[in-house]
Structure 1
Amino acid sequence: MDAIAKCGFSYDVLTRRKDNGMVLAALYGAKNRVPREGLNDIATAYFKGGAGPAALYIGLWSGAHMPDGEETAASLHTLVTEVTEYSQGGRLLLDLGAVADGALSNAASLARFDMLGSGTANGAFISTTQAKGAGTGKLLSVVRFPNPRAFDSSVYLELLAGFQFVSLSL
């Protein structure tokens, strides 16, 4: 059953200067892993009449972890360090637009992290919980960037996240 269907998020990350918006670094097409917890939540909400999440939130993480699909919202904080050095009070709302051809993204409302300190973001995740550092809710995506994203208080990180279902032939 593992090869029947594919789905997942893809991420673009821009590092922009706060003072003029100039792009300092760009990463395009980083592919995620939808953890088992996320796959189960999607299947339950759609095929078993379960409730879908009220909202989705995007966060950043640092650390050496390589996603393997076994991450959960409860275990993520033991595997990585959540990046919280940004001005917003919680993880950013993932405001997804209309569905077309089995896909949707936040292209019309990018997640913009207004960085306050210095550090490195090695990846991103999508959760059903807004609070920074929370280990509750469900984890729908975890991605490790191919190259770390360095930041300091002079920049913001802007993330485009898109989700797609892919129909496969047997």
Structure 2
Amino acid sequence: MNIVKPGFTYDVFTRAKADAGLIEAMRGVKNRVPREGLNAMATASLKNGSGPAAFYIGLWSGAHIPDGEETAATLASPVTEVTTYSQTGRLPLVLGNVADGAVSNAASLARFDMLGTGTINGAFVSTVQAKNAATGTLYSVVRFPNPRAFDASLYLELLVGFQFTSLSL
């Protein structure tokens, strides 16, 4: 039996700003849903709690390996948020319709127009748009298998999806 774990999956596309040519693609990177995100999902879905108004995608650098104990308030300690992109805040995660227990931003990829130079080691999903914010709720944190170097000639597109899984008896 093939078991699919629930959680977020990321595809990252590195493209040239000059012609939108694909330079590199990384597909199917699974995340760690931190305890904070799991508790928020369970509260919203099973305890009649309120869900977040919106989700936002951020990028990070650093050597951290997600362990599930990260929170929006503590993420800045083990990682450094990458903020060298032209947009004024973290990018909205615009999710489409839910189908078969899954949802993604396939119709509206998050495009980070990079500035300067640096390295990205991972991404995260939060409920707060402000760069470097330590508030809100952290729903996902992922470390990429390989760092992504960037400079001002590139942009990154992220396809982010979430999938639940159903047990078959």
TM-score normalised by structure 1 residue count? 0.95
State the Cα RMSD in Å: 1.1
Displacement, 1:169? 4.4
Q: Give me the whole-angstrom Cα distance separating, in 2, the residues matched to 1:159 and 1:6.
A: 20
Please give the secondary structure, in 2, of the residue aligned with 1:69.
coil
Kindly report which structure 2 residues correspond to 1:143-162, keeping only aligned pairs within 5 A, or say none: 143-162=142-161
Q: For residue 61 of structure 1, what is the aligned residue in structure 2? A: 60
Q: Which stretches in structure 1 are left out of the alignment for 5+ residues?
A: none
Displacement, 1:167? 1.5
Q: For residue 111 of structure 2, what is the aligned residue in structure 1? A: 112
Q: For residue 120 of structure 2, what is the aligned residue in structure 1? A: 121
Q: Deviations over 1:39-98 (max 9, x none)?
A: 000000011111100000000000000000000000000010000000000000000000
Please give the secondary structure, in 1, of the residue aligned with 2:25.
strand
Q: Partner letter of residue 141 of structure 1?
A: S
Q: For residue 9 of structure 1, what is the aligned residue in structure 2? A: 8
Displacement, 1:6? 4.0
Please give the secondary structure, in 2, of the residue aligned with 1:98.
coil
Q: Give me the whole-angstrom Cα distance separating, in 2, the residues matched to 1:62 and 1:92.
A: 17
Q: Give me the whole-angstrom Cα distance separating, in 2, the residues matched to 1:128 and 1:73.
A: 9
Q: For residue 43 of structure 1, what is the aligned residue in structure 2? A: 42
Percent of aligned positions that are identical = 73
Displacement, 1:168? 2.7
Q: Give me the whole-angstrom Cα distance separating, in 2, the residues matched to 1:149 and 1:168.
A: 36
Q: Give me the whole-angstrom Cα distance separating, in 2, the residues matched to 1:169 and 1:59.
A: 35
Number of residue pairs the alignment of both structures matches: 166
